Structure 1
Amino acid sequence: MMNKDQWKPSNGIVLESNAKQAIFTNDNILVQAGPGAGKTELLAQKASYLFQTGLCPAPFNILAISFKRDAAENIKDRVSKRVGKEEGSRFISKTFDAFAKLIVDRFYLVLPKDLRPRPQYEISSNSTQTKIYEHAFDYVPDRNAVNDLLKVDLNDINPQSNNYKFWKYMLMGEEKTYLTFEMISRLALYIIQHNKYVRHIIRSAFPFVFLDEFQDTTVLQYDIFRECFLNSESKITAVGDNKQQIMLWAGADKEIFGKYTREFRATKVFLKENHRSALNIVKLQKLMYEKIDKDINPDIIINKNKDEGKVLKLSNLLCK
C-alpha cells in the first residue's frame, strides 16, 4: 500500500498527460484513442493504481467488461502480473455475455415464474432452436424468424404472442431449459430493471467499472450497463475508438459514445501516442484522420519509433 503521490506506472512505462488524467480522475471518463495507443494498458495501470493506493480496498472489486473473451483474459492477465494474484482476484474481467450470465445465474429466482429458467440450463445451438420452433409451431422456420422471436422486450411481451410461446418452450421444455445469450441478456436486463436489491448488490460490489472496446457495445448491452450503474456512486472508465467500430452489423450502437458521455456526464480525453505502428505509417494515419474527422487535433498521433515503414501510392503498387 502506498500514498497516491508515490504511485508510479509499472514496467517503467511513461504516461502521457491525458493517460495520467484518465488514471487519476475521480470522474466518469471516456478515453478515445487509435490502434496502438495503449488503451488496454491504461486500464491495467489504472487497476494497479486503485489497488496499490487503497482506493479500491478489500472486499471491493473492479469490474472490467470487454466485448471479446480474449480481450477480457488479456486485461485480467496484465493486472495480475502488476498487483499479484491476491489483489488480482478482485479484478473481475468478463465479456458482456458472461456478465449477463452472472446476473441470471445468481438472481434467477427473482424472475417471475413464467420467465424463470431452470437452474441447470444449456446454451442452445441453432439446430436446437429450430427443432423447438418446429415443435411449437408445426413448421420449419428460417433463421431470421427464430432470431426475431428472441429479440423481445420482456416488459411488453404479450402472453398470446408467438414470442411468448417460443420463450416458454425454450425456458420450460419437457426435459431441459435452453437459453441463448440473447435470452440471457434480456433476462438479466429484466432482473436489474425490476429488483432494486440486485442493483444495490452489484453497485456495492463494484465501485469501479472499466469498459474495454466500448465502440462495439450493442444497444442491449448498454441498456444492461446503464441499468446497473446509472446514477450510482460507481466510477466508470470507458475506452474505445469510434474509427474501429466494425460490429455495426451485429448490433453495435453507433451513438454509444454520445449516449455515455451525456448520460453519465463523462469527461472525454484523447490519447495522442502510438506505440505500435512505424513512423511513416503513423504519418499516413495522421493525414487520414485530419481529412475524415475535423474534431481530431492534428497532433493527435505521435510516434517515438524510428523512421521506418513504407507508404506507397496505389498507382505505384499496380504498376509493379
Structure 2
Amino acid sequence: MGEELMQIMQHIHNGHHFLLSGGAGSGKTYTLVQVIKEIIKENPTSLIACITYTNAAVREIESRVNHENLRVSTIHDFLWECIGSFQKELRDSLIELINEREISINANVNLPINSDFFIKEGEFLHIQYKEYLRVSDGIISHDEVLRVANYMFTHYKKLRKIVKGTYPFILIDEYQDTSPLVIKILLETFDEDDSRSCHIGFFGDVMQAIYDDGIGDINTYKYPNGKVYEVKKEQNRRSPQTVIDLANKIRLDDLVQRPSKDKTAPNMMKDGQVKIGRAIFIYSRTESTTIYDIRKYLHDNESWNFDDSQTTKELNLTHRLIAGKAGFNTLMEIHAGDCILKYRNKVDNFIKHNLVNTDDKTFGEILTFLNNTFTDERSRKSFSQTSAMENFIKNNQALYDKVLNYPYNKFVKMYVSSDQLIDDKKQEEDETSKTGSRRSELIRHLMKIERCIYLYSSGRVEDFLKSTEKKIETITDKRSLHEAIDLLSNVEDKNIGEIIDLADKLDIVKKDDTLERYAERCPYVYERVLTVPYKEVQHLYKYLEGMTPFSTQHKTKGTEFDNVLVILDNGKWNNYNFEKLFTSSKLQDSVVQRTRKIFYVCCTRSKENLAVYYHKPSDEVLTKAKEWFGTDCVIKIDKS
C-alpha cells in the first residue's frame, strides 16, 4: 500500500474528511482508483459515490473499477439522482426559486407563480432533468439542477439524512473545478446534523484551477481551522526533470514535486534515472518574427515535427487567430469584432461621461441628438465612427439601418463576447453543457444540434435519445429519424437559421425557453448569426471537440505531448497578463494568480521538451526568464 493511500485510509478510519493534493502528472486518478478499491475491500456492502468532471472520466474510472456498489457520475447526474424522486419538494423548491428570480422563466409569465403552475390537464407535471430548459413543461437543465439541489438540501433535513445514509463515502475528482455551491452542500449543509456520518474525499490540484466559476481551493475548510485533512502527493510521473524544476518555481503553494521513485514511470529511463528533457525560453525583438519563424527554429535546432499533432502541440491563449484556420471566422467576428457593436460601445461611453438622457429614444435618435448638440471637434471625435467602423457599416448598410430603430436602452444591454462562442471549460466531446458555461444560449443550442448529428452518425443511439426530443417507438419512427439526420447533415449552402428551424420541425432539437429568451434579449446578434452558413457551426463543433490540430491553453488541461510550444500572448484578454507573470511580486493579485496557473498547466503538458515563446520581452521579463529557465536556455531567435 502506497504512502498516500495509507494516510487517506487512516483519515477515513478516524472519521475525517480528506483532500489529496497532487501536482500535474502525479497520478491522482490512480490514487483515486486505489482508494475506491480499498474502501470496497473494507466496506463491501457500502455504496460509494464518485463524482467526476466529465463523462469521459466516468467511463475511465468505471473501466478500472467494476463493482456493483460503485456509482460514478458527473456532479449534475449525482445531484439529480439524489433529488429527482422527491417530486413534491422539487416543485415547491422550483416555485420558490422562480419567485426569488434565482431561476429564469419566460417574460410573459407573471410573478409570483403559485402551486398550480405545474398542474397540466388536472395533474402535476413530473419534473425532469434534460439538456434543455422549458420550465413551464417541468423541464430543467444543468444550471437549475445545482440551484434546486442546494435549496432542497438546505431546507429538507430528511433529504440530507437519506443521501448520507445511502452514500457513506463520497469522492470528488478535480475538486478545484467544482462549483462552490457543491462544496457548500457537502461540507456545510451535510454537517448541519450529525445523525449519519459521511466521509467526503477530494482529489485535485489548486494550481490547475483555471476556471473562474470553480471553487479554486478549499483552504478555509482545511485542518486545523476546518475539518478536511490534507494528504500531499509529491511525485511527478509525466514530466522530465527540467520541467519539474520549472513547475516548482511557478507554483503558488508549498507543494514541491519530485520525480517518481517508480522505475516504470513514463518519465523514467531504462537505467532508472529520470529523463532530463529540455525547457527553453525563446524570444524575439523585431516585429517581423512570425509563428512560422518560431516553428522553423524549433524544427531546425530542436528537431521538432509540427506535422505530427499527436506528439507536438502549439498552445495559444486565445481563439481569434485559430478561427480563420479552423473555418468559423464569421462567427468569431460577430462575437469578438463586430464594428456596429464597437461603435455602440463608443457612443455609450460618451453618453455616460456626458450624462445624456436616453429614455424612450432609439439608437438613431440618440445619434441625431449627439450630432446636433455636441458640435466641437473634440466631442465629435469621441463618438464618431473610426475608418474600420465606417467601412463595415458601408458594407452592411441594411444591418445598420435596422439597429438605428432599436430602443437605445435595450440595444446597449445586448452583450456579446468571444466567451459566448468558445467555452474553454469544455474538455470532452460529450460535454455539451456545463454549469457556469459562458456560451450563449444560441451557441449551446447549435452545439446540441451538431451533437445529436454526431451521436446518431457514430452509432451512440442511447446517448442520442437522451439528447433529443424525437420519439422512437416504431420502425416508421426509425426510418423517419434516419431521414431527419440525413437532412440535417447535408447542409449544403443552408444558413444557421434554416438548420435551427429544420431541427425544430423534425423534433431533433426543439427551440426552448433559453433560445427564445436569447432571441428576445439580444436580437442583433441572434439575427446576424442566423444568416451565417451552417458549415461554420460544423467547423466550430469539430474545433471544440478536439477534432482539429488547433488547441488553446485552457483546452489542453488533462492532456500530454512530447513537445509543447507555449505562445505567451494574452490576445488583449485582460484576465491574463504575461508581463506580470514574470515581473509582479504581488502573488495574491487575481490576474497574476490566474496567469501563473494557466502557465503552469501549459508547461506541465510536456513529456519531453518545452519551449515558451515571448515577443518583445522587457529586460525585467528576461531576468526572471533566466532565473526560471537558466541563462543558456533563454534564446533570442531574431534573424541576423
Offset at residue 260 of structure 1 (A): 5.5
Q: Work out whether 1:223 is the aligned partner of 2:184.
A: yes
Counterpart secondary structure, 1:36? coil
Offset at residue 38 of structure 1 (A): 1.2
Distance 2:250 2:92 in 1: 55
Q: Work out whether 1:309 is the aligned partner of 2:277.
A: yes
Task: Identify the residue that residue 145 of structure 1 maps to in structure 2.
Answer: none
| 8 Å contact from structure 1 (residues 213, 239) kept in 2 | yes
Relative to structure 1, the CA distance from residue 38 to residue 228 in structure 2 (aligned partners, 3 Å threshold; closer, same or farther) is farther
Distance 1:56 1:296 in 2: 32
Offset at residue 70 of structure 1 (A): 2.0
Distance 2:44 2:143 in 1: 34
Give the one of 252, 259, 267 matched to 2:229: 267
Task: Identify the residue that residue 192 of structure 1 maps to in structure 2.
Answer: 153
Task: Identify the residue that residue 78 of structure 1 maps to in structure 2.
Answer: 64
Distance 1:263 1:185 in 2: 27
Task: Identify the residue that residue 256 of structure 1 maps to in structure 2.
Answer: 218
Give the one of 48, 56, 70 matched to 2:43: 56
Task: Identify the residue that residue 201 of structure 1 maps to in structure 2.
Answer: 162
Task: Identify the residue that residue 92 of structure 1 maps to in structure 2.
Answer: 71
Offset at residue 288 of structure 1 (A): 2.9
Q: Work out whether 1:246 is the aligned partner of 2:210.
A: yes
Q: In the TM superposition, what whole-angstrom CA distance separates every residue of 1:148-190 from its partner, at most 9, and x where no partner exists?
A: xxxxxxxxxxx64xxx69xx697762xx223122212222222
How do residues 24-39 of structure 1 correspond to structure 2 at under 5 angstroms?
24-26=10-12, 27-39=16-28
Offset at residue 106 of structure 1 (A): 1.7
**Aligned partner letter, 1:69:** N
Q: Work out whether 1:44 is the aligned partner of 2:33.
A: yes
Counterpart secondary structure, 1:45? helix
Relative to structure 1, the CA distance from residue 205 to residue 263 in structure 2 (aligned partners, 3 Å threshold; closer, same or farther) is farther
**Aligned partner letter, 2:637:** C
Distance 1:272 1:177 in 2: 48
| 8 Å contact from structure 2 (residues 51, 171) kept in 1 | yes
**Aligned partner letter, 1:296:** L
Distance 1:114 1:31 in 2: 35
Task: Identify the residue that residue 106 of structure 2 maps to in structure 1.
Answer: 133
Q: Which has the higher contact order (CA 8 A, sep 6+)?
A: 1
TM-score by length of 2: 0.36
| 8 Å contact from structure 1 (residues 64, 93) kept in 2 | yes
TM-score by length of 1: 0.67
Q: Work out whether 1:234 is the aligned partner of 2:191.
A: no
Task: Identify the residue that residue 247 of structure 2 maps to in structure 1.
Answer: 285
| 8 Å contact from structure 2 (residues 93, 152) kept in 1 | no
Task: Identify the residue that residue 152 of structure 1 maps to in structure 2.
Answer: none
| 8 Å contact from structure 1 (residues 108, 116) kept in 2 | no
| 8 Å contact from structure 1 (residues 192, 227) kept in 2 | no
Offset at residue 103 of structure 1 (A): 2.2
Q: In the TM superposition, what whole-angstrom CA distance separates every residue of 1:17-69 from its partner, at most 9, and x where no partner exists?
A: 234312443222111110111111111101111212xx2222x2011112222
Relative to structure 1, the CA distance from residue 283 to residue 115 in structure 2 (aligned partners, 3 Å threshold; closer, same or farther) is closer
Counterpart secondary structure, 1:236? strand
Distance 1:221 1:93 in 2: 16
Q: Which runs of 5+ in 1 are unaligned?
A: 1-7, 9-14, 81-87, 118-128, 138-158
Offset at residue 281 of structure 1 (A): 1.7
Relative to structure 1, the CA distance from residue 114 to residue 51 in structure 2 (aligned partners, 3 Å threshold; closer, same or farther) is closer
> RMSD value over aligned CA atoms?
3.1
Q: In the TM superposition, what whole-angstrom CA distance separates every residue of 1:260-310 from its partner, at most 9, and x where no partner exists?
A: 557861211211111112232222223333xx44x335xx32335232421
Task: Identify the residue that residue 319 of structure 1 maps to in structure 2.
Answer: 637
Distance 1:77 1:109 in 2: 37
Q: Work out whether 1:296 is the aligned partner of 2:283.
A: no
Offset at residue 113 of structure 1 (A): 4.1
Offset at residue 214 of structure 1 (A): 0.6
| 8 Å contact from structure 1 (residues 44, 79) kept in 2 | yes
Counterpart secondary structure, 1:37? coil
Distance 2:135 2:178 in 1: 30
Distance 2:93 2:231 in 1: 46
Distance 1:200 1:115 in 2: 21
**Aligned partner letter, 1:267:** Y
How do residues 138-153 of structure 1 correspond to structure 2 at under 5 angstroms?
none
Relative to structure 1, the CA distance from residue 239 to residue 172 in structure 2 (aligned partners, 3 Å threshold; closer, same or farther) is closer
Distance 1:312 1:267 in 2: 38
Counterpart secondary structure, 2:280? coil
